[in-house]
Structure 1
Amino acid sequence: MAAGDRKDVIVVGVDGSQASAAALRWAVREAALSHRGVHVVRAWTFDPLPGPGTGLSRQRAEADRRRELDHLVADVRGETSPVEVVAKVVEDTPSAALGRASDGAAMLVLGSHGHNRVLRLLVGSVTEQCLRAATCPVVVIPARTRAPRPPESGTEPLTGPLL
C-alpha cells in the first residue's frame, strides 16, 4: 500500500463492544480478500471523575484505551493474518475522529449496537452521524442476536458492495 493511498485502506471504528469487535473481524476478512490495509480507530474523551482521590490522569486513561485496543486487534487479527493493521487511539468524539480518519478511504466499517429508535434519539448514534457525514462507503455490521449460520458448502463469501 503506497503511503497516502487512502483507497487501499478500510477504516474501522471500535469502542470495546462486541459489535465493534465483529466490525473489526469483518474488516480484516474483507481487507484480506481485497488486498487492503485496515486502520482501526478508538476514539475517546477524557472525563475525570470529580473529587479527590480519583487518581485517573489523561495519560493513564489514554494508556488504558491503547491497551484495550492492542488486545482487541491481537485477538481479531491472529498471528497468521497477512493484513496490515494500524491501530490509533484518538482523543476526540467518535464521529469527528472517524470522519477525519475515513476521509477518502475505501470504506468505513462500524458495528451496530442494535439500540432502538427512542434510545438513539436520546443519546445519539455514532453510526447514524457517520452515515450522514461520511465521504466514503459505510458498512454497518449488525449486532447479532444469535450465532451466524455456517456457510453452505460450495458457496463463495460475498466480496462486492453491500447495499
Structure 2
Amino acid sequence: MTTADENDIVVGVDGSAGSAAALRWALAEAKASGRRVVAVRAWTYDPTADLESAAARSSRDLENRYRQRLAQSVAEALAGADPVPVRAEPVDGAPGPVLVRVSQNAAMLVVGSHGHGRLLRLLVGSVSAHCLKESRCPVVVVPVRTAEERGPVPDPAVTYEPGPLL
C-alpha cells in the first residue's frame, strides 16, 4: 500500500483502548460523511525487540498475526453498527511515519490519545505527537475515556452550532 485516497479516513489501530476509540470515531465520521475508512496497523519484525516478534518464525508470520488482530478490531468496532466501507492494512514500519505516509493524500488521519510522557505527551502519545507535527492532512486525536465519562455516543449527523462570542 502506498497512500490512501483523498476521500479516505485513515485511522491507526494497535489494539489499545485509544485506538479502539479512534476507530469507532472514524467509523462514525465515515458513516456521516460517506467516506471510507482505511484502518492501518503498523508493525515491524525484530526478533530481538519483543517476545511477539521472537515467537514468529518470519516477518510473514508476524504480518499475518497483525492482519488477523486488525481484522478482529475492525469487526468488533463494526459489530451492531451500520456498515461502512473499511480497508484494513497492516503496514511494515514504525507507527508515526507509517500513518503520516499512508495518510498524505487522505481527508484526515485519526489516532487515539495517550497519557504518558512529558509536555505534549501529557495529552497525546508519541505517535499522536508525531502525526500532529508531520501530517499533511487534518489530524483528529480521540481521547480515551471510560463509558461512564463518555455517556451516550453523539450522533455525528447532528451539526454543532456555536454560541455567541464573548
Q: What is the TM-score when the length of structure 1 is the normalising length?
A: 0.80
Matched, 1:43 2:42: yes
Deviation at 1:118, TM superposition (A): 6.7
Deviation at 1:8, TM superposition (A): 1.2
- 1:6 is paired with a residue whose SS is coil
Contact 2:4–2:103 (Cα < 8 Å) also in 1: no
Contact 1:30–1:159 (Cα < 8 Å) also in 2: no
Stretch moving more, 112-121 or 68-77: 112-121
Tell me the amino acid that sits aligned with residue 86 of structure 1: R
Deviation at 1:129, TM superposition (A): 0.6
Deviation at 1:150, TM superposition (A): 2.5
Q: For the aligned residues, what is the CA RMSD?
A: 3.0
Q: Would you say how many aligned residue pairs link Structure 1 and Structure 2? A: 151
Gaps of 5+ in 1: none
Stretch moving more, 70-79 or 39-48: 70-79
- 1:83 is paired with a residue whose SS is coil
- What corresponds to 1:111 in structure 2? 112
- What corresponds to 1:59 in structure 2? 60
Gaps of 5+ in 2: 162-166
**Identity over aligned residues, as a percent?**
46
- 2:73 is paired with a residue whose SS is helix
Deviation at 1:78, TM superposition (A): 2.5
Note the alpha carbon deviations across 1:66-90, whole angstroms, 9 max, x for none.
Answer: 1110100111113653310000000
- What corresponds to 2:140 in structure 1? 139
Q: What is the TM-score when the length of structure 2 is the normalising length?
A: 0.79
